[in-house]
């Protein structure tokens, strides 16, 4: 920020009048023109696009978009409620996920729930199953809850940003996307791609994660949005950031608005400046290191003395995670958090206590443990968590587990071992399943 001090008013000497009365005359110094602020150094709150810049950017960007826009399924839907629903689903899926991955998920989702009315009738289990592999399952739960809210209030999508913001799970970004793309409201949309494009256009060196910076970029995006084609313009700006104005390798020679880009101009004037210097790189949050002991509990249906093979009829025990927190409400294998690296004895003690407390299963006195085997370790990476999982397979006779579902607060269920492959499990749980069943030589593992 360029904090400039205004020059002090010069001291004006007393003047003598003809009547010899002394008076003090306040002379105003002639104002000097303020110099143009250097790019990247001015106060971000003072930044704005000139009218001629806005007109040029709108025209060039929309012409480029009309020729180069990607053919995506949610862009083929006609305007109105159907379009709003398609934009909503696609934008929620696109958060933290690549477009190529989302296309397949979007097509399957829309085939199963073609409208908000269909989605509102779904269960959270069905939604999680369809969402499996996309991660951030809270987004899926909010989609379901939001759909129920829309249907309960008449079934018609809100038309404006302000009304859309009232729907569960719809924030400022998603509301702007729906309102502009589906209902032609002239409002901005700012995602990571838009932040990058605008930061380069205006050489904004402020922290892009800072609230004041984000607010200013929203304001700048609001100046740019085309009043006649707001939805197309917002998509064009995001498309530009996703395809040309990329993080590490921007294609400036192909950019339709390169003539308006301050970062490109600076890079041409100075070899020490690069377009990729904008926006400012922010240090990533250090990942937390967590540890967990996981027991894949297989319950045999056969009587004692029956030979155990990979083809034996059996069921797998799954437990439901708490409704709040990481992976809320999802199904997983029995899991116990550990304080750090742990040996086999420590892990088994923790698992034994968990199974005893949760299901009344006393493994230390049980004579019907068919098999207990260490399967291996697997590291699963979340955004801010590095989870190391120690995995075991525990095979038991059916009479060892008799706890009633109504006892205690934990929800659990038995699932046919081969049916587990079709369930909507998280990526980490599916990896554990693959490791265990690969050892058992059961061919239900699939590529993640």
Catalytic residue numbers, as ranges: 91
d(CA 420, CA 401): 20
Q: What is the 3-state secondary structure (H, E, C) of 338-407?
A: ECCCCCHHHHHHHHHHHHHHHHCCCCCCCCCEEEEEEEEEEEEECCCEEEEEEEEEEEEEHHHCCCCCCC
Neighbours of 367 (CB within 10 A): 7
Q: Which helix (H) or strand (E) holds 131?
A: helix 124-131
240 and 255 Cβ atoms separated by less than 8 Å: yes
Cβ neighbours of 371 (radius 10 Å): 12
Helix axes 192-201, 211-224, angle to 10 degrees: 80
What's the CA dihedral at 83, 76, 176, 113 to 10 degrees? 50
Neighbours of 34 (CB within 10 A): 7
Q: How far is 300 from 286, CA to CA, in rounded Å?
A: 43
**Residues, the chain:** 448
Secondary structure class of 111 (helix, strand, coil): helix
């Amino acid at each position: 920020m360029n904090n400039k001090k205004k020059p002090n008013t010069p001291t004006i000497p007393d003047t003598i009048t003809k009547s010899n009365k002394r008076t003090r005359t306040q002379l105003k110094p002639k104002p000097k023109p303020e110099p143009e602020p250097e790019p990247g150094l001015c106060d971000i709150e003072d930044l704005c696009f000139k009218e001629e810049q806005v007109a040029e950017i709108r025209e060039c960007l929309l012409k480029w978009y009309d020729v180069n826009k990607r053919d995506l399924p949610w862009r083929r839907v006609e305007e109105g409620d159907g379009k709003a629903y398609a934009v909503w689903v696609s934008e929620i899926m696109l958060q933290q996920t690549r477009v190529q991955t989302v296309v397949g998920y979007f097509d399957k989702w829309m085939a199963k729930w073609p409208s908000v009315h269909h989605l509102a009738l779904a269960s959270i289990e069905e939604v999680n199953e369809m969402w499996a592999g996309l991660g951030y399952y809270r987004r899926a739960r909010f989609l379901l809850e939001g759909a129920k809210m829309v249907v309960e209030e008449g079934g018609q999508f809100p038309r404006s940003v302000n009304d859309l913001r009232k729907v569960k799970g719809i924030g400022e970004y998603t509301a702007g996307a729906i309102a502009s793309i589906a209902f032609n409201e002239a409002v901005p949309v700012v995602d990571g791609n838009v932040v990058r494009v605008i930061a380069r256009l205006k050489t904004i060196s402020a922290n892009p994660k800072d609230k004041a910076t984000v607010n200013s970029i929203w304001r700048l995006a609001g100046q740019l949005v085309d009043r006649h084609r707001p939805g197309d313009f917002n998509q064009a700006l995001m498309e530009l950031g996703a395809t040309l104005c990329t993080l590490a390798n921007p294609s400036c020679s192909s950019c339709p608005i390169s003539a308006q880009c301050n970062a490109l101009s600076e890079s041409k004037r100075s070899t020490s400046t690069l377009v990729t210097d904008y926006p400012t790189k922010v240090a990533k949050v250090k990942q937390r290191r967590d540890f967990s002991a996981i027991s894949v509990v297989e319950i045999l249906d056969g009587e004692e003395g029956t030979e155990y093979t990979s083809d034996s009829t059996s069921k797998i025990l799954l437990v439901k995670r708490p409704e709040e927190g990481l992976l809320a409400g999802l199904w997983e294998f029995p899991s116990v958090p550990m304080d750090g690296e742990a040996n086999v004895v420590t892990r088994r003690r923790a698992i034994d206590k968990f199974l005893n407390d949760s299901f009344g299963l006393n493994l230390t006195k049980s004579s019907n443990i068919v098999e207990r085997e260490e399967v291996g370790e697997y590291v699963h990476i979340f955004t801010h968590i590095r989870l190391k999982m120690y995995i075991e397979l525990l095979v038991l006779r059916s009479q060892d587990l008799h706890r009633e579902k109504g006892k205690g607060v934990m929800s659990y269920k038995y699932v046919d071992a081969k049916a587990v492959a079709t369930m909507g499990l998280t990526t980490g749980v599916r990896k554990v399943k693959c490791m265990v069943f690969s050892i058992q030589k059961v061919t239900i593992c699939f590529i993640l």
